[in-house]
Each structure stands twice: as structure tokens, then as C-alpha cells.
Amino acid sequence: MRHLILASTVLGIIATCPPANAEIKVGVIVSLSGNAAGLGVPYGQGVAAGAAYSSKVGNETVRIIQLDDNSDPAAATRAARKLIEEEGVDVIIGTATAPSTAAIAAVANELRVPMLGVSPIPPAKPGTDIFAADVPPPAPLMISTVTDRMARDGMKRVGFIGFSDSWGDFVYDTAKKAEAAGAFALLTNERYARSDTSVTGQTLKIIAAQPDSVLLGGSGTQAALPSLALRERGFKGPLYGTPAMLNADFLKIAGKSAEGMVVSAGPAIVAEQLPDSHYAKKLGLEYRDFFKKANGVNVNDAFSAYSYDAWLILLDAAKRIADKNLKPGTPEYRLALRDAIFSTTEFPGTQGIYTFKPGNVYGSDARSLIMVRLVNGAWKYEP
């Protein structure tokens, strides 16, 4: 438990609230340390931006209890159990990596507490009574948007390198489906651990296969390793990636090696570049204001917007059960909150328009994704 860092903040306490109905507890699990901290810190900042937008539901105030999972699925599991069994939270938001988010979802489903995931989790088995909903688009949609673009760009021979975990599997498996559909030939399946500091051997194998482009299946800072290694060894073909690379640390480390890279993205990352008719433009610009108010800096990532949207979805669901006279902290309240989340319909956020249905963990569709290209170190919208 030494890796769990407890940070409890009371937001907007209203003196006139009756004690029995005084607060909704929100457990937040993020990777503030470990190899996924480059993603986890923005997720925590996104929750803070959400609290700056609103920290109450009717007469009920919100208390955030935040834990660090140290970028480790086992620690994420312990954190989820602590939040539910010891802190009595009504809902969980988290976390930075797909393996850890899946681990939290398993606990949420077991202990029957609603959860809003901010990293991809696997689909639920048919007939499962699920409590975990996922804010980002399903991984296959994130990735097929990229593989479709690769096919449109005329890529015929594609190399792949990604994490040796569930996120790497998500990317590779979707690329294999594109290959089966005739989009391109997938030449390699090279993997590396999130903790690795070199991918020399893997990139040499990719170059030897002579691909015309490479699909990267990493995330955050560690996603920069392959682009650096490929460029250092003379690979000049296009690089393609996913929303998992849209953070400042990736750009800082990858530098010029990532110039020209094309990735799928949620619209918030380029809100100011969107046409006025786009649903996310106004919302995305408002989110930036709340982010700066809460964190004292301008937003420069695409991850915090997912946790911000999770907060908005939570507030909307909690408002819709406010007249049921249910007491937060009880099984009845948590069940009603779960049901409200899974009845969310056409709810607009910064990263998608969300519709959740019972039995389906995903709430967003193709409207949640755009394409961006890295130009002179900045992401540029590509209609």
C-alpha cells in the first residue's frame, strides 16, 4: 500500500446542506508516478478542471478522494478496493493505462460501484451486469480510423511495433483486421515493455522488412522510443499513431523524429482549429478555460479532456437521480447512479457525443475522432 498516495479535497462545501445528504464521494485513480505518469498527471488535471466547472449537484457537494496507482495494475486494483471498501466512494474515475483501467473495472463490477474509465477497457461479456462505462472511443474505432487513413494514403507494406500488453494487443489486432480486409500487408509484430529504455533490436527487424510505413502501438513518453530509433537508423517512411501519443512529454522526447506523424485524436486537442459548426468547438474552448483556472497552465494534451468529460457525464447522471431521495454512500444510490450513467443519451462533451446503453461499456461513436498531423512540433487538424 506504500504506493498509494491519498489526496482528499473537499470541493464547494455548502453550510446549509443537511449532513445526511452532504456529499457525493468520487474516487479518482491516476498514475501520478511510474512509467505512465506522463498520462496520469493530465488525467488528474482533467478532473480538477471538471471540479472547477462545477463541484456540486443540487444541494450535494462533491468530495474527491484521489489515489496514485504507480502505473501498476496490481496497485490500481488495491486502490479501487480501498476507495470502495474503506472510503465508501459512490463512483470511480480512472486511470492512465489500459491494463490498470481494466483491473479497476473488474473491481467496480464485482463490488457494484459505477466507474467511468478514461483508458480503453475490453467489451463486456454478453449478459453481464456491468458497472463500468468507458469514456474514450473503443480501441478498435480509435485504431481503425488510423488504418483506414493508412489505406487511403496508399500504404501497402506496414510495420508494427507496440507495447507488450493489452494496449499493444488492441492496436495490433485491429491492424490485422485491416490486413484481412485487404487494406495492406502487415509485415512485423514487434513488442516492447513500458519500462524498456531501448528498442534497437525491434527496429532493426522492422527496417529489414522494408515497410513503406510504420504503425506505433505505444502511449505517452514510451511511445517515443520507436520513432527515435527508426529515424536514427535511417527509416524515412511515414509514421502513424493513436490518441495515446497526444501529450506534451511525447512531443518533447520524440522531437523531430515524430514530425509529420498522423494520428487519430479526440477533437479537444485542436478545438480552436475546428469549424464553427463542429459540436466540440465551443465546449473544447470552455474546457481550456476551466483547465487553466484549475491548474494554472494551459492544456497541452488530449488525455485530460477524457477525464473532464467523465466528470460532466457523472454530474449529468447525478442530477437525473437527485429527486429520488437516495442517500449517497448506499448501495441504492450507487445502483441508481449506474443506471443513470447507462441511460445517458446524445450528451455532448469535448471528446464525443455520448450515448451509453446497459451491457455496452462504450458510449462514443465515430463523431469522437478526427485526424491530426504533427507539423513543426504542433498538432494540425486534417479534415
Return d(Cα 82, Cα 76) in angstroms, integer.
Answer: 10
Indicate where the chain has its CATH 3.40.50.2300 domain(s). Answer: 7-137+283-368, 139-269+369-382
Instruction: Kindly tell me if the per-residue pLDDT of 302 is higher than 90.
Output: no
What are 370's strand-pairing partners?
A: 265
Q: What CATH fold (topology level) applies to the domain 139-269+369-382?
A: Rossmann fold (3.40.50)
Return d(Cα 361, Cα 380) in angstroms, integer.
Answer: 30
Instruction: Kindly tell me if the per-residue pLDDT of 154 is higher than 90.
Output: yes
Phi, psi torsion values for 163, nearest 5 degrees: -65, 150
Looking at residue 16, what is its pLDDT?
Answer: 33
The Cβ of residue 104 has, within 10 Å, a number of other Cβ atoms equal to: 28
Looking at residue 22, what is its pLDDT?
Answer: 64
Q: What is the pTM of this model?
A: 0.86
* Residue bearing cell 506505433: 216
Instruction: Kindly tell me if the per-residue pLDDT of 11 is higher than 70.
Output: no
For residue 346, the SS3 value is: coil
Helix (H) or strand (E) holding 375: strand 370-375
Higher confidence at residue 11 or residue 298?
Answer: 298
Amino acid at 131: F
Instruction: Kindly tell me if the per-residue pLDDT of 256 is higher than 60.
Output: yes
Instruction: Kindly tell me if the per-residue pLDDT of 2 is higher than 60.
Output: no
The tens digit of pLDDT for each residue in 312-322 reads 999 999 999 99
Looking at residue 20, what is its pLDDT?
Answer: 46
Q: What CATH fold (topology level) applies to the domain 7-137+283-368?
A: Rossmann fold (3.40.50)
Instruction: Kindly tell me if the per-residue pLDDT of 283 is higher than 50.
Output: yes
